[in-house]
Amino acid sequence: MSIVKKENSLSKWYLPGILKGLGITFRNLIKNLTSRDEMLTLNYPEEKYEYGPRFKGNHVLTVKKDGSLRCTACMLCATNCPADCITIVAAEHDDPSVEKYPINYEIDILRCVFCGFCEEACPVDAIRMGPEWQVPGVNGASFINNISELAYRPSLGGGIKTVLDDEERIKGGI
Amino acid sequence: MEAKLLSEHYSDDSYIGLEGYKSKGGYAELKTAFKMKPEEIIEVVKQSGLRGRGGAGFPTGVKWGFLPKNGEPRYLLCNADEGEPGTFKDRVMMERAPHQLIEGMIISGFAVGSHKAYIYVRGEYMDSVRILEKAIQEAYAAGYLGKNILGSGFDFDLDVYRGAGAYICGEETGMISSLEGKKGQPKLKPPFPAIQGYLKKPTIVNNVETLAAVKYIIRDGAEGYRKYGTEKSAGTKLFSVSGDVNKPGVYEVPLGYSLMDLINNECGGMREGRKLKAVIPGGSSAPVLTAEETGRATMDYECLAEMGSMLGSGAVIIIDETRCMVDMLKVILHFYHHESCGQCTPCREGTGWLEKIVRSIVDGNGRLQDIDLLNRVAENMKGRTICALSDAAALPTMSFIQKFREEFEFFIREGRSQVKG
Amino acid sequence: MFELSPEGKELVKKELARYEDKYSAIIPSLYQIQKENEGWVSPEAVDHLSELTGIPHSHINEVLKFYTMFNLKPTGKYHIQVCCNITCSMFQARELTDDLCQKLGIKEGEVSEDGRFTVSRVECLGSCDNAPAVQVNETYHDNMTPEKMDTLISELK
Amino acid sequence: MPKCTVNGIEVEVKDGATVIEAFMKTNESIAHYCWHPGLSVAGVCRMCMVEIEGNPRLQIACNTPVQDGMVVYNNSEKVKEAVEWTLKFHLINHPLDCPICDQAGECGLQEYYMSHGSYDSEMAERKVKKHKVVDLGEKVVLDTERCILCSRCVRFTDEVTKTNELGIFNRGDRSEIGTFENRPLNNKYSLNTVDICPVGALTSKDFRFRQRVWFLKSFETICQGCSAGCNVQAYYNENGFYRVKPVPNEEVNGHWMCDEGRDVYKFANKEHRLVSGIKKEDSGLSHMAPGAAAVQLREDLSDTKKAALVLTGQYTTEEYLKFVDSFTKNYGNEVYHWINNPKTFDDFDGILLRGDKNPNTVGLLRVLEGKGIKSSWADLEEKLNSGQIEHLVVAGPENLAVFPDLEEKVTLFGQAQKLTVLTPVKSKFYESADYQIPMKSFMEKDGTFVNHKGIEQKLGRGPIVVSQALTLLDLSMILDGSDFISVNSASMGGSL
């Protein structure tokens, strides 16, 4: 981008430009000090930016009304995952109306590209991409999220419940 | 104009017993038949134009002709599993004239070369079973059944088998399955029963009325029998009339008889003088006729087929103006859903689907597109299965919708029946 | 454990010999079992019959569950079967059934408290000229009305 | 031999063949559920509708015999619509279980929905509910809701095993398959019902939920479980083998295989395998590369005067040829045949199962005969008992489950001064051996098995599980003096 500046007599001198620039800086300094709401930057990490509701951050496994995992271990997310970062181990559930559920569900968050394909592939609304994204860890292992992290981490407050429950599903004949 | 051929003595109680039956000319034709050659009997039956009275209307003589021409053992089965809603003529025949059937069966057995025959009676007809069993005992005692009947050298054994409640056993191969001690599921054709039927042996299955009529064909000859009825639908037929008429019951009239005459003359007109709305002319699986069509209809195979309906088993259900057709269809479809044997997918799933759609209309949850859906489901059930049960559910559905569409639309729009207010 | 009476066993044996194929004896034998077993066929009875005839129990079970005249639950002494098919339903058979159930305080298929009655809807009984038709055990009752039904019930008691 | 035209392709079929068989012969696709070449015709699914020229009504191909000059097609609009509707009827009461259903990915309903359906469901009513997760004994789980009542499994138990466990109960859309009172389906061929089930109604407990089928690759090989030599398809992914299924071969196994044979993939998986060569030394067991162990074995054997070889019928003919040749050339003619279960060796259950639980007994006997080796087991026992054998080399079995006498025999072999066990699998009984050398399993190598009838069948090599393991061919090269391992084993074929 080229900016064409109009030559005038003042611009030939050094000092006026400097003073003008300092003026802008000083004005903003005062503005930032007096009205902090309008400040454009954040004091990260004390302050965090709030993203839109459709932001694709760390995964959340949703739960049913009774608090158990919604996931049926169909593996469609793992199939659809382009980064191959989802590992699921399925098992037989005692309740025949549930039948199949994951005993282990791991997402390697360092491999994840946050594309959201898992969310789209899920037939039962069991996985969603949540608002969080900045989760620090001390070694590689701490970036492999398991069920307790994905479904029941403290920030979720006991798990995100899906709207449709089994009873409603059966009632609706789905 | 009642033509009493088979039903001449039905009102006579003594006709049930052997003595009474013999005094009215019973077992006379058996002697005549034994003087003929089996092929001659088949030929006479062919000539007489007798067609199956159970529903399909297939020429009986032709059916007999399908049997292999060798000495292979074969079976004659009498189909008395009368389950078609609206039909009750076979029960009347068995209970009023058991020996007539037995005599017809011996002659038919002689004609087709069978030495073992069964009468498959539906389970509910316990009275018929008792009466038949007693009659068979009498016939054995009198030498009409068993070895070397009347010195003719012909052996014939007859037994009664009691069904256990399944409409589908009225289908000939379903009946054979049931007789073999299996579920009464119809068998794949080919092979046809005449080639491979009961226990994989050639088998002929005929309706009670068909077999009983053979006696009269022998008595009157082919020409004598042809005096009744029309060119293509020869003879007389027993009609079970029920519904909104003053005198429901079994009436024997020649084929080709006017349906309105049947209602007005034989059945004493409409009940309480109400207006005729529709007639189901051949049992619940026959497409319905409107009042206007009823006025033109004659009771024979051709006329009804031309009108898109069928003669079926001759069960005439008269419906007057106070009846809701949507509700009637629901009852009919419930029946077919209940009775589908579950073998072929289109019928198993389709009958249930049809009933559910009509039920949701009756419950007030119908959608206008349901009417077309019903039609399309029925259309795609037709002719896609082993037996005709799926057609039997599809045909009335299509005809009800075609002829009484506005009643269905009213029901869906208003959530209530048009006629019951 | 259910076991057929000696006469029942005799009948089964006779039926086995009566038809060309032993499988044909299943239906008559089940009728006999039903008669001796309070109006229904229990799984033990199927086992018993299988042992008696040498026919696989799954086959007997197939037959048992296919035909509607075999009851899979105990029934009352009088099994009142109301035809609710086309002609009978035109003549208020369904209302009659509901009425009857209400009077006896049972639902369809249940046994009344005194063990006397079971009510069920059945398909066409072949008595359409006398609609609505009712079959109590093996006897037909024609042209039923609520009043006639009341009389019938009181007679059966 | 009548000729007919199928979708424009002329084809000649056997007398009495049906139209569907003509379709199969031309490789024209035809939708079908109930028809199975190994079972009787039921004609109930109504999917195989075809149009026959001169017949206004659509017919089912599976029950229509081919007549000479018949012109049949199933690519007309009329047929396509009929098939789509029949599929609709199949699906209206089918539960949406695909996410949890093991059959997903190889399901007939999914397949035909993609090829013949792709419509929006018009079923607004409640579906029929039936029994789910019905336990049918040790091997099979039944879901009656998913069942499309094609009756293949029922016909299988009626016609093939003749055990009659399964039946279809009730009627209409309330029909359910099942066993009487949910009794177990425990015949020796029960898992075939799972294979032939076109939907997810019958699933195998062994395979259930362990893997989605689209993650699996497969190859064809020969079952190792007994001398019947059934043709099988083995399924695997990077974590190992998951299941085997039969492959039709009219001459050998028809369309079936036994339940025992379904377990043959298990010992080929890593957790059961011996992965390194083990030499017993005074200081304890020393682990080394298999090739190195083999070289040490060669050196050890070269000092021996009396060496003997024991062979089981679990290796390929090629291996026997070469190895027996090397061994006899280098160490003399002492070669013996270990028969694992002499009492039941000649048993046959009338369907497939053979008492001889080795896949290549006939191959071994042919090789021994060819080499002119006649030995009796009694000889070996006597020589062992009298201490006449200095070094015994045993080519042990892979499938330990069929060697009930393993412990007893290994104790017997221990009487030799030195014992070498060549084995693909680990066993605690081998711990006393001086050498344990890991071998490749039948899944990982080429070669030939000769079944009881004498039919030679080639193995299809799958992925390599233990890349360093040897074959008898490799070993014979080492015994012959080479220090290189042949190209046969590690360098070829994909590795897990």
Residues of chain B with pLDDT under 50: none
> Quick check: B338 and C123 CB within 8 A?
yes
Task: For A126, name the nearest residue in chain D, comparing CA atoms only.
Answer: D99
CA B254 – CA B2 distance, rounded (Å): 7
CA D434 – CA D417 distance, rounded (Å): 9
> Quick check: B344 and D93 CB within 8 A?
no
Does a structural domain hold residue A96?
yes
Does a structural domain hold residue A153?
yes
- Clarify whether residues C140 and C86 are in a common domain: yes
Mean pLDDT in chain A? 86
Residue partners of A24: CB distance under 8 A and separation at least 6:
none
Do D135 and D208 contact (CB within 8 A), yes or no? no
Q: Can you tell me which residue has the tokens 């083999």?
A: D294
- Per domain, the residue ranges of chain B are 13-226, 236-320, 325-414
* Angle at the Cα of B181 from the Cα atoms of B176 and B184, rounded to 5 degrees: 50
Which is nearest to B412 in space by CA: B334, B349, B358, B336?
B358
- pLDDT at A154 (0 to 100): 87
Q: Can you tell me which residue has the tokens 């089964």?
A: C12
- pLDDT at B114 (0 to 100): 95
Q: Which of B183, B240, B328 sits opposite C128 (nearest CB)?
A: B240
Task: For B184, name the nearest residue in chain D, comparing CA atoms only.
Answer: D171
Which residues of chain C make contact with D164, given a CB cutoff of 8 A? 56, 58-59
Which is nearest to B114 in space by CA: B78, B62, B161?
B78
Share of chain D above pLDDT 90, in %: 88
Q: Is the pLDDT of residue D94 over 80?
A: yes
Q: Which of B352, B360, B386 sits opposite D173 (nearest CB)?
A: B352
Do D117 and D89 contact (CB within 8 A), yes or no? no
For domain B13-226, give its CATH number from 3.50.50.60, 3.40.50.300, 3.20.20.70, 3.40.50.11540.
Answer: 3.40.50.11540
In D137-238, beta strands by DSSP E: 140-142, 166-169, 176-179, 202-204, 217-222, 231-237
- pLDDT at A40 (0 to 100): 80
In Å, what is the CA distance from D350 to each residue of B364, D162, D228, D357, D455?
61, 11, 12, 16, 18
Do D267 and D399 contact (CB within 8 A), yes or no? yes
**In Å, how far is C154's CA from the nearest CA of chain B?**
24
Do D296 and D269 contact (CB within 8 A), yes or no? no
Backbone angles phi, psi at B224, to 5 degrees: -60, -40
Classify D128 as helix, strand or coil: coil
Query: Given C66, C89, C104, which residue is the final one in a domain?
Result: C66
- Clarify whether residues C89 and C144 are in a common domain: yes
- Measured in residues, chain D has a length of 496
Range name among A122-136, B227-241, C132-146 with the lowest pLDDT average? A122-136
Domains and CATH numbers, chain D: 3-89 (3.10.20.740), 100-109+123-212 (3.30.70.20), 270-479 (3.40.50.740)
- CATH for B236-320 is 3.10.20.600
CA D79 to chain centre: 37
The helix, strand and coil proportions of chain D, stated in percent and rounded to the nearest 5, come to 30, 20, 50
CATH code, domain with C84: 3.40.30.10
> Quick check: C135 and B124 CB within 8 A?
yes
Which residues of chain B make contact with C130, given a CB cutoff of 8 A? 248
Residues 185-224 of B with CB under 8 A from C: 199
Classify C91 as helix, strand or coil: coil
Backbone angles phi, psi at D269, to 5 degrees: -75, 155
Query: Given C24, C42, C66, which residue is the final one in a domain?
Result: C66
Q: How confident is the model at residue D489 (pLDDT cuts 50, 70, 90)?
A: very low
Backbone angles phi, psi at B373, to 5 degrees: -60, -45
Q: Look at A134 and C69; give whichever has higher pLDDT.
A: C69
Range name among B241-255, D55-69, D479-493 with the lowest pLDDT average? D479-493
- Clarify whether residues C56 and C91 are in a common domain: no
Does an H or E element contain B299, and which?
strand B298-299
Quote the number of domains for chain A: 1
Q: Can you tell me which residue has the tokens 């430009």?
A: A17
> Quick check: C67 and B165 CB within 8 A?
yes
| The pairing of beta strand B116-121 with beta strand B157-162 | parallel
> Quick check: D164 and C58 CB within 8 A?
yes
- pLDDT at D486 (0 to 100): 47
Q: Which two tokens stand for residue D141?
A: 């789980």
- pLDDT at A172 (0 to 100): 56
**In Å, how far is D66's CA from the nearest CA of chain B?**
12
Does a structural domain hold residue C100?
yes
In C14-123, beta strands by DSSP E: 78-83, 117-122
Q: Which of A72, A79, A124 sits opposite D214 (nearest CB)?
A: A79
- Clarify whether residues C122 and C99 are in a common domain: yes
Amino acid at A133: W
**In Å, how far is B94's CA from the nearest CA of chain C?**
13
In B233-290, where does DSSP find H-type helix?
259-261
Task: For B387, name the nearest residue in chain D, comparing CA atoms only.
Answer: D44
Amino acid at D397: P
- pLDDT at D492 (0 to 100): 41
Q: Is the pLDDT of residue D490 over 60?
A: no
Classify D17 as helix, strand or coil: coil
Range name among B416-420, C109-113, C137-141 with the lowest pLDDT average? B416-420
The helix, strand and coil proportions of chain C, stated in percent and rounded to the nearest 5, come to 50, 10, 35
> Quick check: B337 and D172 CB within 8 A?
yes
The 10 Å CB-count burial string (b at 16+, else e) for B298-319 is bbbbbbbeebbbbbbbbbbbbb
Which residues of chain D make contact with A92, given a CB cutoff of 8 A? 208-209
Which residues of chain D make contact with C66, given a CB cutoff of 8 A? 169-171
Q: Which of B190, B352, B381 sits opposite D172 (nearest CB)?
A: B352
Share of chain C above pLDDT 70, in %: 100
Does a structural domain hold residue C135?
yes
Q: Which of C21, C69, C124 sits opposite B123 (nearest CB)?
A: C69
Mutation test of the interface with chain C: which of B87, B121, B124, choosing the one with the most C Cβ atoms within 10 A?
A: B124
- pLDDT at B1 (0 to 100): 58
Say what the pTM is. 0.92
In Å, what is the CA distance from B390 to each residue of B29, B168, B351, D93?
40, 11, 7, 17
In Å, what is the CA distance from D19 to each residue of D1, D28, D151?
13, 11, 20
> Quick check: C66 and D165 CB within 8 A?
no
- pLDDT at A171 (0 to 100): 60
> Quick check: D149 and B342 CB within 8 A?
yes
- pLDDT at D398 (0 to 100): 93
Task: For D183, name the nearest residue in chain C, comparing CA atoms only.
Answer: C58
Does a structural domain hold residue A46?
no
CA D322 – CA D311 distance, rounded (Å): 13
Residue partners of C115: CB distance under 8 A and separation at least 6:
C76, C77
Amino acid at B126: M
Q: Is the pLDDT of residue D494 over 50?
A: no
CA end-to-end distance (rounded Å), chain D = 49
Amino acid at A80: N
Q: Can you tell me which residue has the tokens 């711990």?
A: D431
Task: Kindly report, residue by residue over D5-34, the tens digit of the pLDDT.
Answer: 999 999 999 999 999 999 999 999 999 999
CB-side exposure of D195: number of CA atoms within 13 Å? Answer: 21
Which residues of chain C make contact with D181, given a CB cutoff of 8 A? 43, 61
Which is nearest to B114 in space by CA: B204, B212, B215?
B204
Classify D365 as helix, strand or coil: helix
Q: Look at D68 and A133; give whichever has higher pLDDT.
A: D68
Give the domain extent around C150: 78-156
Q: Which of D127, D132, D209 sits opposite A90 (nearest CB)?
A: D209
In D36-183, beta strands by DSSP E: 49-52, 59-60, 70-73, 134-136, 140-142, 166-169, 176-179
Quote the number of domains for chain C: 2
* DSSP symbol at A146: -
Classify B378 as helix, strand or coil: helix
CA B419 – CA B410 distance, rounded (Å): 10
Which residues of chain A make contact with D132, given a CB cutoff of 8 A? 96-97, 99
Q: Which chains contact B through at least 3 pairs of Cβ atoms less than 8 Å apart?
A: C, D
Q: How confident is the model at residue A163 (pLDDT cuts 50, 70, 90)?
A: low
CATH code, domain with C15: 1.10.10
Mutation test of the interface with chain C: which of D149, D180, D185, choosing the one with the most C Cβ atoms within 10 A?
A: D180
Backbone angles phi, psi at B182, to 5 degrees: -110, 180
Cis check: omega of the bond before B254, within 30 degrees of 0: no
Q: Can you tell me which residue has the tokens 């070469």?
A: D322
Chains B and A touch (3+ CB pairs under 8 A): no
Query: Can you state the angle between helices B405-414 and B389-403, rounded to 10 degrees?
Result: 80
CA B184 to chain centre: 17
Segment A88-107 mean pLDDT: 93
| The pairing of beta strand B276-280 with beta strand B315-320 | antiparallel
Mean pLDDT in chain D? 92
Range name among A45-49, D90-94, D194-198, D378-382 with the lowest pLDDT average? A45-49
Q: Is the pLDDT of residue A150 over 60?
A: yes
Q: Which two tokens stand for residue A3?
A: 């900016």
Give the domain extent around A144: 59-171
CATH architecture assignment, domain B325-414: Up-down Bundle (1.20)
A interface toward D at CB cutoff 8 Å?
A: 72-76, 79, 90-92, 96-97, 99-100, 123-124, 170, 173-174
Does a structural domain hold residue A80?
yes
Classify C110 as helix, strand or coil: coil
Does a structural domain hold residue C72?
no
